[in-house]
Structure 1
Amino acid sequence: MFNVLGCIFYQHNIALVGLAALVCLFGSAVTLRLLRRCVRAQGTQRLGWQFLAAVAGGGGVWTTHFVAMLAYEPTAPVSFDPALTLISLVIAIVGLFVSFVVSGLGSGKILTGMGGALVGISFAAMYYTGMFAYRITGLVEWDFGYIVASVLLSVALSAAAITLIWRTYLGSRRYWVAVALMVTGIVSLHFTGMTALRIIPMSQNFTEVDNGAALALALAIAVVALLVVGTGLTSFLIDNNVRAISRRQLHHVAAHDALTGLPNRTSFQRQLAGHLDGYLNPGKKLAVIGIDLNRFKEINDTFGHAAGDEVLRILARRMEQILRDDEFIARLGGDEFAAIKPFSDKDEILSFAKRIESVFTRPIEIGAMDGIVGASLGAAIWPDDAQTPDELVNNADLAMYHAKHGFLETICFYDANIGATVRNRRQLAEDLRRALERGELEIHYQVQMSLNSSQGIRGYEALLRWTHPVIGPISPSEFIPVAEENGLIASLGAWVLNKACEDASRWEPAYRVAVNVSAVQFMDTNLPRLVHEALVTTGLSPHRLELELTETALVKDKARSLHIMRQIKDLGVGLALDDFGTGYSSLETLRTFPFDKIKLDRAFVGEMEQDRQSKAIVRAVLALGKSLDIPVLAEGIETEEQMEILQQEGCDEGQGFLLGRPSQVDRLIQHGGPVQNEARRPAEPTRKAAASKSEPVDDKDDGPVSLRSPLAARS
């Protein structure tokens, strides 16, 4: 040991030794950092990192050796063999590459240790090849013990460094331990090997070595080596930067909605959790605001999904522009958004809500679309309205749905009554789904009769009825909107259409059957196909089926509605305009759409005995029907006086409790209704088709079913 230290301090230029040590430290640090990249790399990428590490490591150790050789101050003239000098560099690079590949072949310590040992052997092979290139004018002797010691030190310390660097988890401290081991191995190899060298000059007269030239050569070699090692370091830094950018991009993609760029549900939940941890101090509260667009489905149905996506992007940009430092908005999915607002005074929430509302009340222009989307807002407050984050979000959602169902134009704050109302509505939807699956729904039929001739019964209207096992009878005016909101109207309406066609196909005489189609179902382009399937499956003649729809179903998209109506008319099915005189009713509708019948709303029929204006409207509608050659059916006839007025004004058909209450098919037969022809029963009735109409259910079906002749009113 003392001999090695003496060799360093008494036979070397300490300045050049310091330069060699600096090159060795820098080269080893870069080499092991590059090799570390191989731990998680695979295939050609791993080989690429191993090659870069070998070039950096080989160049670094070769430079360390030759700078240290130049630092040696021999007692005899020296020179270098250029061929062996270059070969020593090749040995270092190739040897390290092979060693690094071996060390990465398996996850066990054996192959890793073997690869590390090969690194030490590569260092030794490079060193002693370089020593053979060191030509001295004198006798050279070697101490074999120091040679063995130098090789063993190099192998042991390199194996330890490489084994450590291949660990799955490597902290900063362990990394620098590995660097220290490799530097120690390289330095020990060189100076222990130099200690083994004995030089006996053959002449006392020789040219003195130019120390300046040696220093310049050493610096040149060191600069070249640093350039090589620096190239490897640059590759590492570039890769680090690319990885950091990729991680940021991946994090952004994982935390943000791809369509709008707003934070997504995951970010919302993380933000909410962070706020709740930080805002539990007295005097500070937190509001979660649920936001749901009001007419987004109409935009998708009318203008297409591309327009819908662009609407979402526009609204997202607008919402980002209104946010302040402590506010947060995320897109949860579809047309649902959520906002977070910490506050001390409730006025802060109201101000925030107004800014949000301003986003949705500004017109949007996209191609042919030019309108206002609108949104419903509901808020829940922490800790007043909830004890857990999930409960807080759910209650904000309940308040938002209450605002939507109540057509509220301002934000709705959660309370216990709202929660109970919305939960009951959701429970009703679930019960309706089960009722449909279990066959607990029924269809009752109400007679439609001629009022101006002896033709008597013209047909029956199918009315859906639901008797809840716990609540009892539920009006269609209550459960049909629930079905529309929860996506049940398609399957519900399909069952009604098929059941009505199936029943009517067995009637004798062959009366027609009228089935109501909801506005939601009418916008489905598959409706004509469903009607056709129902007719084919049940065997019902098309002219015996009549679909009733309100003008609400037409005004959303007139061109699309007209196309669907023409397809249905081409099947031979009749179309009736229901509830005429209310809502959107206009003469333009009668002129544009091919209706076969007008149904006068019960509101005018019920008031025409006392209200002169109602009677005038009834007279005008009847006159309009005659001029357009479209029959008119009056709904809600309940008194003899109403019947007489309608007959005097020339109304074509009537329907109401006076003529007959809604009832099941078997009870209609008992009281003079159509006879069921079992021979015409379909083999496998399907459950596909249209929806039902909201009719009063105060008739308990306990009394007799009236099928009186309308002409009796004249007597």
Structure 2
Amino acid sequence: MIKVLACLTQQHDPRLIALAVFICAIACITVVAMLTRALKNRGMGRAAWTIAATFAFGSGVWALHFIAMLAFQAHMPVAYDVSWTVFSILVAIIGTLPGFALFLSAPRRPLVALLGGTIVGLGITAMHFTGMMAMRLGAIVIFQRSYVIAAIIVGAAFGALALFVAGRWQTTAGRLLGGLLLAFAIVAMHFTGMTAVVLAPVLGPGIAPGDAVFTPALLAIAVAAISSLILLAGLMFALIDARMERRDLAETWRLRQIADSAFEGLMIHRDGIIIDVNAAFTGMVGLPKDQIIGRSVLDFAAQQDIAHVKERLATSRNDLEECAFRAANGTVLPVEVLARDIEYGGKPAKVVALRDISERKKAAEQLEYLAHHDPLTGLANRSLLRERISASIALAEKSDESLALLLLDLDRFKAVNDLHGHPIGDQVLVRVAARLRAAARGAEIIARLGGDEFVILLTAEAGAEAARAAEVAQRVIASLTEPFEVGASFLQINTSIGVSLYPQHGADADELLKNADTALYSAKRAGRGTQRMFDPAMDAELRRRRHLEQDLRLAIRRRTLDIHFQPLFKNDGKTLAGFEALARWRHPAFGPISPADFIPLAEESGLIVPLGRLVLETACTEAASWSQPHRIAVNISPAQLRAGNLVATVTEVLARTGLPPSRLELEVTESLLIEDTEATLATLSALKALGLRIVLDDFGTGYSSLSYLRRFPFDKLKIDRSFIQALGENDEAMAIVRAIVALADSLTLDVTAEGVETETQLRLLQEESNAEMQGYLLGRPAPADTFSGLLATGAAKQAGGRFPHFEAAANQA
């Protein structure tokens, strides 16, 4: 080392040495920067930058060498062979090219960087000793082996270290340090190699005449030219690099803007270590970017998915799949993950897109919920009920359990909707659901089938299912009997329940529901507010009613029903006031069917509308044929009113039959008045405007609201038969009749007392009122031709307290 320093300080011009070192440092730093630029390119672009870097480096090494040779004080004339001088620069360029190319193939791999640097160091050494061969002077150049070996080691070692640093730390500081180490490798190798030189003077000039040599002056010019090119190349590269750096920054900023504007979270990782993320990802994680980069991907995987993420990283899978993502605050989000292989920073990496599918999951769960639940009450719907019944049956088959299915619907619920509106009705349904949950604790499932129909599925030990069903049904009935307080109203409803058992009453959901419905129908016919267990006899009765319904439909279509007429008399009991038209049905197989049976059947099936039209048409046609202008009364059902075309039907029938509207009376019940009051009022007012009369039937047995009498255009009240039949036996009944008559008189309404069946009832009515009368005592319903004599005279002939004109009618009825 001391000898090297002595060679440097005593045998060389310090000024030229400083110049050489400066040019070398500029060249080396420029070369490292050019190599960095080469890393950012691929294909021909990388090859061009690699060749340019090698040319600049080789030129720089060559310039240092010959500036240092010019600084060398040999104390004798020196010249330089042209061919060897030119050959030495080629050695510098070609000898270092493989080293740089190898380094650029994998700069971050230590072994590759060290090997590439070693090759560069050897190329520098080769150039040095080739350049020494160009010297022509009056002495023999002898190289000391130890220093030659030392020069080779120094050049290779520091060349390897320089590229290792440049590859390991690809930053501005790393590039600067790598360039300086490379320059040091050249300088150290050169002066170590110069120390190895021993000059042995010989006789003669040492330069043969005609030799092509560079004199020191010419060499200085050549070196100056090369040095100028190096400095100019360095300046141009600095400008180009700055421009390209700005372009890269602009491109990076543009790509960053694009990445940050993406809705998906984007993460770039290499071997599971995060190296970059976008703004959406930081938002998902809840951490700033600098606290994410450098962490493992596994840090953001939910606990249940860590093994799966490890397996995905190990197999480099890129397929689309779902997994659970964990934010910094512990929140777990379902995400959709898609990966792709990319090159980032000159090395392979993976970009992973994470799409938060929480809202999609919630929407899917909501759709799934709505697909199986009633949106109003939150109870199961028909679809989920059937699934649960089937599942419960499958379990029951493998155990000693049995099932009970309770089908219920609400009594008088329609009146709640009609009187208070559907929003109030919905509130009642919600509260009904809450009461069912409380009353049917431990039920397998509670479902709403729609409207006011509900189902409760129970499990019990075999043999105890009937008792459990009865117990729960009783609790449900008691619970729903309690009034519902909605706003300022107390609403009273009730329920009827039909029960079927598994396996006694059915082997599947359809059969159990069907039989429970049959039992429910029986419960409603029994008076509502009660429960009934399915019995096969119920099914037979139901099938009978279904057959009757079909036969009734056919009878209405073929107009084979009979229309009987029951007379109405004035207060004297003799003078005819009119008739009431009543439908009668003689079944071809079962004989006479009571109106108490087929009228409710018609109402349940919707046949009451065509039946009512048939009665109206027949009654009006018959009345129009009478010689006397007697009135005809026809009953109107709520279903006819709800159909919406009653006014048009009555208008058309009156026009076609020619019956004057004043002779037609339409009888409505009080129950009809509570169904959509405004629409009912409008319809009755339109009927009244036609000129016919409106009669309130069965007055006193329903709501008997005086507001109805004030608002609706009634012409007559009919006192219900229950009050008339109690006359002479119950003083309260007489008081009620007097009150109704007095009310009608004050409102200028006519009165009819129906159900007169005894002489006592007739006498009391004649004494206490001026009401018209109707009943079996005066005349039973019969075909119109039975009353031909009465129609002709307009009065009944009484004999011995009897009315012989109607004995035939009574016998037929």
TM-score interval w.r.t. the shorter chain? 0.5 to 0.7
Amino acid at match of 1:387: A
Alignment of 1:183-194 (within 5 A): none
Task: Please state whether the residue corresponding to 1:312 is helix, strand or coil.
Answer: helix
Match of 1:146 in 2: none
User: What secondary structure sits across from 2:477 in the alignment?
Assistant: helix
Distance 1:566 1:630 in 2: 16
CA deviation vs aligned residue, 1:230-288 (integer Å, no higher than 9, x gap): 96669854344444333222211212223333221111111111111112234311111
The alpha-carbon deviation at position 509 of structure 1 amounts to: 2.4
Mapped to 2, the partners of 1:280 and 1:221 lie a distance apart of: 56
Partner of 2:332: none
Q: Of 124, 132, 135, which residue of structure 2 is paired with 1:203?
A: 124
On the 8 A contact 1:582/1:601 being kept in 2, the answer is: yes
Q: 1:303 aligns with which of 420, 423, 438?
A: 420
* 1:245 correspondence with 2:362: yes
SS in 2 for 1:263: coil
Residues in 2 aligned to 1:84 and 1:608: alpha-carbon distance in whole angstroms: 120
Give the AA of the match of 2:631: R
Taking the TM superposition and a 5 Å limit, the aligned residue runs for 1:501-650 are 501-519=620-638, 521=640, 527-528=646-647, 530-554=649-673, 565-580=684-699, 582=701, 595-603=714-722, 630-637=749-756
Query: Which of the residues 167, 181, 201 maps onto 1:214?
Result: 167
Alignment correspondent of 1:414: 534
Deviates more, 1:233-242 or 1:387-396: 233-242
> 2 CA distance for matches of 1:210 and 1:83?
15
1:457 is matched by which residue type in structure 2? L
Q: 1:374 and 2:494 equivalent?
A: yes
> Aligned pair in 2 of structure 1 residues 353, 134: CA closer, same or farther (>3 Å)?
farther
Say what the alpha-carbon RMSD is for the aligned residues: 4.7
Q: Which amino acid aligns with 1:305?
A: H
Q: Distance in 2 between matches of 1:87 and 1:249?
A: 51
The residue type equivalent to 2:591 in the other structure is G
Q: Name structure 1 gaps, 5 residues minimum.
A: 1-76, 89-126, 144-186, 675-705
- Contact 1:448–1:458 (Cα < 8 Å) also in 2: yes
**2:630 corresponds to 1:709:** no
Aligned partner of 1:313 among 430, 438, 448: 430
Q: 1:591 to 1:417 in 2, by over 3 A?
A: same
Once the two structures are TM-superposed, the CA of residue 572 in structure 1 deviates from its matched residue by 2.4
Whole-angstrom CA distance in 2 between matches of 1:476 and 1:142: 115
Residue 570 of structure 2 is aligned to residue 444 of structure 1: no
Q: Distance in 1 between matches of 2:385 and 2:703?
A: 41
Which of 381, 386, 390 is the equivalent residue of 2:506? 386
Q: Cα deviations across residues 532-576 of structure 1 (Å, max 9, x unaligned)?
A: 454345443221111223344446777776665444433322123
For 1:485, give the aligned amino acid: E
Report the 3-state secondary structure (helix = DSSP H, G, I; strand = E; otherwise coil) of the residue aligned with 1:384.
Answer: coil
Say which is worse superposed, 250-259 or 232-241, in terms of deviation. 232-241
Task: Go from structure 1 to structure 2 and tell me whether the alpha carbon gap of 1:441 and 1:316 turns closer, same or farther (over 3 Å shift).
Answer: same
- Asked if the contact 1:451/1:711 (under 8 Å) is kept, the reply is no
Q: Which deviates further from its counterpart, 485-494 or 654-663?
A: 654-663
The alpha carbon displacement at 1:617 in A equals 6.8
**Counterparts in 2 of 1:626 and 1:246: CA distance versus 1, 3 Å:** closer
Task: Name the stretch that deviates more: 489-498 or 461-470.
Answer: 489-498
Deviation of 1:342 after TM superposition, in Å, equals 1.3
Residues matched between the structures, number: 520
Contact kept? 1:268, 1:330, Cα under 8 Å: yes
* Greater displacement, 293-302 / 527-536: 527-536
Shift of 1:478: 1.2
User: How far has the Cα of 1:330 moved from its partner?
Assistant: 1.3
Per the alignment, in what secondary structure is the counterpart of residue 614 of structure 2? helix
Query: How big is the shift at 1:294?
Result: 1.1
Shift of 1:131: 6.4
Judge conservation of contact 1:273–1:389 (CA < 8 Å) in 2: yes
Is 1:474 matched up with 2:632?
Answer: no
Structure number with higher relative contact order (C-alpha < 8 Å, ≥ 6 residues apart)? 1
| Percentage of pairs with the same residue | 37
The alpha-carbon distance between structure 1 residues 499 and 129, as it changes in their structure 2 partners (threshold 3 A), is farther
1:275 aligns to 2:392 (yes or no): yes
Could you tell me how far apart the structure 1 residues matched to 2:119 and 2:581 are?
122
Deviations 1:210-248 (A, max 9, x none): 535534449999567554799666985434444433322
The alignment partner of 2:379 has SS state of: coil
Deviation at 1:295, TM superposition (A): 1.8
Distance 2:278 2:634 in 1: 85
Residue 573 of structure 1 aligns to which amino acid in structure 2? Answer: L
Q: C-alpha separation between the residues in 1 aligned to 2:442 and 2:758?
A: 67
Q: Distance in 1 between matches of 2:94 and 2:358?
A: 54
Normalised by the length of structure 2, the TM-score is 0.54
Distance of 2:642 and 2:545 partners within structure 1: 24
Cα distance 1:255–1:616, how it changes in 2: closer, same or farther (>3 A)?
closer
Aligned-partner residue type, residue 472 of structure 1: G
* Structure 1 residues 157-172: aligned runs within 5 Å: none
Determine the structure 2 residue equivalent to 1:340.
457
The within-5 A match list for 1:62-141 is 137=54, 139=94
Deviation at 1:302, TM superposition (A): 1.7
Q: Structure 1 residues 506 and 253 mapped into 2: Cα distance closer, same or farther (>3 Å)?
A: same
Query: Deviation of residue 371 (structure 1)?
Result: 0.8
Alpha-carbon distance change, 235 to 562 in structure 1, aligned in 2, over 3 angstroms: farther
Moved more, 268-277 or 315-324: 315-324
Change (3 A) 1:85 1:531: farther
Structure 1 residue 514: Cα displacement:
0.1
Stretch moving more, 395-404 or 316-325: 316-325
TM-score, reference length from structure 1: 0.61
Change (3 A) 1:709 1:285: same
Cα pair 2:390 2:508 within 8 Å, conserved: no
Rounded Cα–Cα distance in structure 2 between residues aligned with 1:352 and 1:139: 99
Contact 1:452 1:650 in 2 (8 A): no
Deviations 1:600-648 (A, max 9, x none): 4445656657888877876776677667654443434566776666556
- Alpha-carbon contact 1:643-1:713 (below 8 Å) kept: no
**Do the aligned partners of residues 242 and 643 (structure 1) sit closer, same or farther apart at CA in structure 2, a change above 3 Å counting?**
closer
- Matches of 1:271 and 1:217 in 2, distance apart? 66
Give unpaired runs (5+ residues) of structure 2.
1-30, 55-92, 99-105, 126-154, 175-267, 282-337, 340-350, 803-813
Bigger shift: 598-607 or 299-308? 598-607
Amino acid in the other structure paired with 1:464: A
Matched residue of 2:397: which SS?
coil
In structure 2, which of residues 371, 376, 392 is the aligned counterpart of residue 259 of structure 1? 376
Change in Cα spacing, 1:660 to 1:352, as seen in structure 2 (3 Å) is: closer
Partners in 2 of 1:352 and 1:140 — Cα distance?
Answer: 99
User: Which whole-Å deviations, capped at 9, do the CAs of 1:145-182 have from their partners, x for residues lacking one?
Assistant: xxxxxxxxxxxxxxxxxxxxxxxxxxxxxxxxxxxxxx
Structure 1 equivalent of residue 576 of structure 2: 457
- Amino acid of the structure 2 residue aligned with 1:490: V
Q: 1:638, 1:657 within 8 Å by CA — same for their partners in 2?
A: yes
Structure 1 residues 300 and 214 mapped into 2: Cα distance closer, same or farther (>3 Å)?
A: same
Decide whether aligned partners of structure 1 residues 358 and 141 sit closer, same or farther in structure 2, where only a CA change above 3 A counts: farther
Alpha carbons of structure 1 residues 334 and 556: separation in structure 2 relative to 1, 3 Å: closer
Residues 410 and 436 of structure 1: CA distance in aligned 2, closer, same or farther (over 3 Å) = same
Give the SS at the match of 2:504.
coil
Q: Is the 8 A contact 1:327 1:340 kept in 2?
A: yes
